Structure 1
Amino acid sequence: MQSRVVKANIFLLITAMVWGTGFVAQRSGMDYVGPMIFNAVRFAIGSLSLVPLVIWSSRRGTTLPPGTEVSKGFAIRGAMIAGAILFLGVALQQVGLVNTTAAKGGFITGLYVVFVPFLGLIIGQRPGLGGALGAGIAAAGLFLLSVTADFTLAPGDSWVLASAIFWAIHVLVLGWLSPKMDCIKLAFGQFAFCSLLHFIAAFLTEEVTLASLQAGWFPIVYGGIMPVGVAYTLQVIAQKDAPPTHAAVILSLEAVFAALGGWVILGESMTGRGMFGCALMLSGMLVAQLWPKTQGSEETV
C-alpha cells in the first residue's frame, strides 16, 4: 500500500509541474483566440488523446474490488458532474488569465488548497486550526499580490479567485468518484463533457474562425495534450491512492511552477510586494494542510 501512495505522490508532482507550466500556454493562447474556444479545442484534444487508453481499459476489464463498481448510468452521471465542475473552474480561470500573469494566476488558483478543508464542512468535516490559520495567511498574501490601491482585486484576479472555489470542489468530487469508477473512463468522460460545454459557450459568446485556431495551434495542442490529456489523467489515477492531504499539498506546487514558467518563458516579472504575497500564499496553503490535527478537527460531525 505504501508503494502505491509513493507512486501516486510522484504522479501528483508531475501533474503539478505540467499544470504550472501549462499556464504559459494558456496565457499565450489568448493572443490568438478567445478563452472559451481555446478551452473547447484543447479539452477535445485531451479527450481524444485518451481514446486508445479507453479502448485498452475496456478490453482489460475492471480492476476495482468486487462489489465496488458502479452502474453504467452512475458512471456517466459522475463523469458529467465532474466535467461540469471542471468547466466552471477552467472557464473562470481562462477568462481571468486574459488580464493577469501566469504567475499570479497560478498562485491564486492554488488557493483551492485552502478552500478544500472548508468545503469539507459540507460533508461533515471541521477544517481545524490549521485550516483557519492557513486561510488567514493566504488571504494576507492575496491582498499583497492582487489588491490595488483602491482596495479592489486587480483585473482578472477576481475571476481566477472564483475559479479556485470550483477547483476545490473538483478535488473533493474526484476523491469521491475515483475509487468507484475506472479512472481512464472517468477522465475521458469529464474532458469530453467539459469540451462540449465550452464549445456551446464559445459559439454563443465568441467569434470563432479557422484562421485564428491555425495561428494559435501550438499553445492549443500543447494545452490539450499535456495539462489535459496527461496531467488531469494522472490526477484522477493518483487520487485513487493518494490521501486528500497529500494531493492538495503536492498539487499546490503548481503555483511555483507557474511562476517559474512565466519568468523563464514569458519574461514576466513581479514586484517585491507581489513576491512576498506569493510566499505568504504558498505558506498558507501548506499550513492549511500540514498543521497537526487536533482531536475533533477534520472529523465527521
Structure 2
Amino acid sequence: MKKVKIKEFKADLFLLSVAIAWGVTFLMVQDAVKNVPVYSFLFYRFLIATVLMFVISKNRFSNINMKNVSYGIFLGSILFFAFASQTFGLTHTQSSIVAFITGFNVIFVPFLAYILFKDVVRKNVLIASFVALFGLYLLTMSGTLNFKIGEFLSLICAFLFALHIVFTGKFSTKEDVFLIVSFQFLTVTILSLLFSLYLEDITFNVNFDLIFLKAVLVTSIFATVYAFLIQTYFQQFTTPTKTAIIFTMEPLSASFYGVFVGNEILTFVQIIGAVLIIIATLMSEIKLKKSTKTHYQKEIDIIS
C-alpha cells in the first residue's frame, strides 16, 4: 500500500508539471493567435507533435492494434471538440467566463467516473473539487455570468475535458500509452486541418514569423508531447478526480506567469482564489481514513 501511495504522489507531481506547462504557454499562444487563426495554429501545433510522437514511438509500431488506434481516435476526437467548443465560446463571451466555466470539469469528473465506471471518490477529494472551483471563480471571473450561447459552449467544453480525463485514466492501463497518444495527436491534427480549411481564410499560407514559430514549437514540444504523454502515462497511478483538481493549477500558473513576465497585477480577490486552489490540491492528497479506498486504487493495488 505504501508503494502505491508513493506512485500516486509521484504521478500527482508529474501531472502538476503538466498544468504548469499549459499555464506558462498561455501568453505565448495568446500572442500567436492574434495573427494566425486558431485552427491553423492547432493544426501546426499538433502536426509537429504527431511527427515527434511517431518518431518517439517508432520501436513500438509492432504493438499497433485496433484497440490503441481506436482509443487514440476516441480521445483525440474528444480533445479536439473540447478545443472547438471552447474556441467558439470565446467568440460569444469573455475569456474570464470561459476559463471559469471550463473549470467545471473538476466537478464533472467525479460524477462521470462514478456513472461510467462506478469509481468511488474519497470525501475529501470531492470537497476539494468544490473548493478548487470556488478558487477558480475568484481567480478568473471578471464579468457577469449569464447563460447564453457562449456559456453553453463553454459548459460543453468542460464536459468534454472531463470525459477526456476520465477515459484517459481508463485507457492508460489497457494499451501502449505511446501509441494511444500518437493516434490521439494524429486525430486532432486531421480535424484541425479540416476545420481550418472550412472555417478559416488561411491554413498553409500563414505568416511564419518569430512569434508564431516560437509559440508553435514550444507548445508542440512541452504543452503537447510532454503534457499529454505525461498525463496519459501517469493517470494510471492516480484518480481522474485528483487529476482534474491538479489541472485547476493551469490558470493559476498562467496568472503567476503573467505577473512575472507580462507585468500583470493580481487583485486581492484573485490571490484568495489562488490560495484556495493550492489548498484544494493539498486537500486531495490527504487521506482522512485508512479504510477509505477507492475502486480506482484497488485497481492500482492489483497492477502493482
Query: Which TM bucket (shorter chain)?
Result: 0.7 to 0.9
Query: What's the TM-score, normalizing by structure 1?
Result: 0.77
In the TM superposition, 1:105-184 aligns within 5 A as 109-122=102-115, 123-125=117-119, 130=124, 133-134=127-128, 136-138=130-132, 140-141=134-135, 144=138, 145-146=140-141, 148-149=143-144, 151-152=145-146, 160=154, 162-184=156-178
Whole-Å Cα distance in 2 between the matches of residues 107 and 152 of structure 1?
12
In structure 2, runs of 5+ residues without a counterpart are 297-304
3-state DSSP of counterpart to 2:237? coil
Q: Within the alignment, does 1:194 sit opposite 2:188 as a pair?
A: yes
In the alignment, is the contact (CA less than 8 A) between 2:15 and 2:247 conserved in 1? yes
Give the 3 Å change call, closer, same or farther, for CA 166–54 of structure 1 in structure 2.
same
| Alignment-derived partner of residue 255 in structure 2 | 259
Whole-Å Cα distance in 2 between the matches of residues 160 and 287 of structure 1?
27
Q: Within the alignment, does 1:207 sit opposite 2:210 as a pair?
A: no
3-state DSSP of counterpart to 1:255? helix
Q: Within the alignment, does 1:76 sit opposite 2:94 as a pair?
A: no
In the alignment, is the contact (CA less than 8 A) between 1:39 and 1:91 conserved in 2? no
Q: How far 1:160 sits from its partner (Å)? A: 4.8
The one-letter amino acid paired with 1:247 is T
Whole-Å Cα distance in 2 between the matches of residues 160 and 217 of structure 1?
28
Q: 1:232 aligns with which of 223, 228, 231?
A: 228
Q: 2:179 aligns with which of 185, 202, 207?
A: 185
In the TM superposition, 1:263-274 aligns within 5 A as 263-274=259-270
Query: Deviation string for 1:8-30 (max 9, x for gaps)?
Result: 34432322221221222221222
Give the 3 Å change call, closer, same or farther, for CA 253–138 of structure 1 in structure 2.
closer
Query: What's the TM-score, normalizing by structure 2?
Result: 0.77
The one-letter amino acid paired with 2:110 is P
The farther-off stretch of 259-268 and 183-192 is 259-268
Give the 3 Å change call, closer, same or farther, for CA 294–114 of structure 1 in structure 2.
farther
In the alignment, is the contact (CA less than 8 A) between 1:100 and 1:155 conserved in 2? no
Whole-Å Cα distance in 2 between the matches of residues 55 and 155 of structure 1?
43
Q: 1:24 aligns with which of 27, 32, 49?
A: 27
Whole-Å Cα distance in 1 between the matches of residues 252 and 261 of structure 2?
14
Whole-Å Cα distance in 2 between the matches of residues 280 and 191 of structure 1?
33
Identity of aligned pairs, percent?
A: 24
Whole-Å Cα distance in 2 between the matches of residues 14 and 111 of structure 1?
21
Give the 3 Å change call, closer, same or farther, for CA 106–46 of structure 1 in structure 2.
farther
Query: What count of residue pairs does the alignment treat as equivalent?
Result: 288
The farther-off stretch of 129-138 and 83-92 is 129-138
| Alignment-derived partner of residue 53 in structure 1 | 56
The one-letter amino acid paired with 2:49 is G
In the alignment, is the contact (CA less than 8 A) between 2:177 and 2:233 conserved in 1? yes
In the TM superposition, 1:4-23 aligns within 5 A as 4-5=7-8, 7-23=10-26
Q: How far 1:217 sits from its partner (Å)? A: 2.1
